[in-house]
Amino acid sequence: MTPVALLRRLGGAVVLVISLVAGLAAAVAGFFGAALVTGAVPALAAAMLAAFAATVFLLAWAAFALAAARRARRTALITAAALTVLLAVLTGVTVFRPMPGRDGPAAGSDVRYWNLPTGSRIAYSHVPASGAARPTPVVFLHGGPGTANDGVSPAGKALAADGFDVYAYDQLGAGRSSRLSDVTGYTVARQVADLDAIRSELGAEKIILVGQSWGGALAAHYMAAHPEHVAKAVLSSPGVLWYGAFAGRGTGELWDRLTPAQREHVEELASGPRMIALDLLAGINPDAAHALVGDREADARFRDMLSASLPATTCPGRPAVRMPANRPGFYVNLFTIQDAATLPDPRPRLRGVRVPTLIMRGECDYKTWEVTYDYRRTLPESSLVYVPGAGHAIAMDRPETFLATLRGYLLDRPLPLPEYTGSRPPGGGRTPLRRTG
């Protein structure tokens, strides 16, 4: 073989390898490029395979021609077809293969539904007041967004025994409540509108709100919109009030408190070709993301991620928190948080809201102190109690203290803990971190 022929063959081999790399790049571009104009998964797959096949064919044709191969065009066509079939098989068992999906438990006899004028079908549980009924119902707001509880909690049942009508509902997109076909409809404003429609369903001029984590933030946004309809509020480990106040700063996340092994497990659940495709599509075309990974499948994976993250919600050494059996909502979590990050500052309006509000902060809460204290310095009629030995899930870590504090505040009795008046957490530093070794 002459040196020129050898160089041609080597050059052809290099171009052939380049054709495969370029084909994969074209496939990715075709897949996500098609998502700019359509959410149909078959169209995305077709665009991906067509872009790959065309790119590989053209470059392989050039490679075989450079190598002076006989029937270069035909050989390139066969090569492109074979590799395209291989790509279809590989993506079919990775990107396009559904993950296991799970349904939540069947609704018990205590679960009822509101069909709200907002278009939401909301599942709820109600424990009626015992004895002499008090005029103002209590509505519990679960966290997440999207982590619905299993009906009325023991604390709620205790309040019912004190004479309150108590309600706990699954927010839109979570639990047994309806899901949206347009996932961008999951917004803070929609949750506020649902809550006000629920108040109307109850026939109550005023309600008492008890919000956990995100539920505390939802209660605050409701008070900003409808302060005249809130008699009292209790915010337990409230989430971020306004993300703009923490631009460039951390607010504290579950992952911050996980051990390396726990964090690795959560990252494994959040990765993989299908989850990566979902994540990227959500930023390009949410309809495409939702079409690729439906609610049942996404909710099941979200539940696995939450279960793996539960150790971060309690103080070290405390018993593990039990994951609610109710089905969580992946898309309501993703898009409500995205929406919350774009909202205008609600604090100027809240500074004029005269609703008595109790803020509860656990010693080991993974949220930063600044996130909690933002409520205290914003709400003029608020007070703060600091709960030693409790994490983000105060009702789980210190159930007796949580219930005594909740009952004391709603019944206008002395609280088991003194009001905390400092602007910094006890000790003057940040809340102690969970050991990660």
Burial of 364 (0-12, 13-18, 19+ CB in 10 A): buried
Contact 397, 312 (CB under 8 A): no
The amino acid sitting at 126 is H
Q: Is the pTM of this model over 0.75?
A: yes
Mean confidence (pLDDT) of the chain: 94
According to the model, what pLDDT value does residue 138 have? Answer: 98
pLDDT band at 432 (very low <50, low <70, confident <90, very high): very low
Region at 429 (left for phi over 0; alpha for psi -120 to 50; beta for the rest): beta
**Percent of the chain scoring above 90 in pLDDT:** 84
- Rounded to an integer, the average pLDDT of 6-14 is 82
- CA 318 to chain centroid, in Å, comes to 25
pLDDT above 50 for 430: no
pLDDT tens profile 366-391: 999 999 999 999 999 999 999 999 99
Distance CA 70, CA 64 (A): 8
Contact 242, 417 (CB under 8 A): no
Contact 425, 370 (CB under 8 A): no
According to the model, what pLDDT value does residue 4 have? Answer: 64
- Rounded to an integer, the average pLDDT of 62-79 is 92
- Is residue 347 helix, strand or coil? helix
pLDDT tens profile 34-56: 999 999 999 999 999 999 999 99
Q: Tokens in use for 366?
A: 């993974």
Say which residue the tokens 């969580």 belong to. Answer: 328
pLDDT band at 73 (very low <50, low <70, confident <90, very high): very high
The amino acid sitting at 312 is A
All structural domains of the chain, each given as residue ranges with its CATH number in brackets, are 3-92 (no CATH), 111-410 (3.40.50.1820)
Residue 45 DSSP label:
H
Select from 208, 177, 210, 193 the least CA-distant residue to 111.
177
According to the model, what pLDDT value does residue 36 have? Answer: 97
For residues 165 and 431, the model is more confident at: 165
> Dihedral, CA atoms, 369, 392, 237, 389, nearest 10 degrees?
-80
Residue 130 DSSP label:
P
Q: Tokens in use for 37?
A: 């104009």
Distance CA 367, CA 393 (A): 11
According to the model, what pLDDT value does residue 104 have? Answer: 81
Region at 296 (left for phi over 0; alpha for psi -120 to 50; beta for the rest): alpha
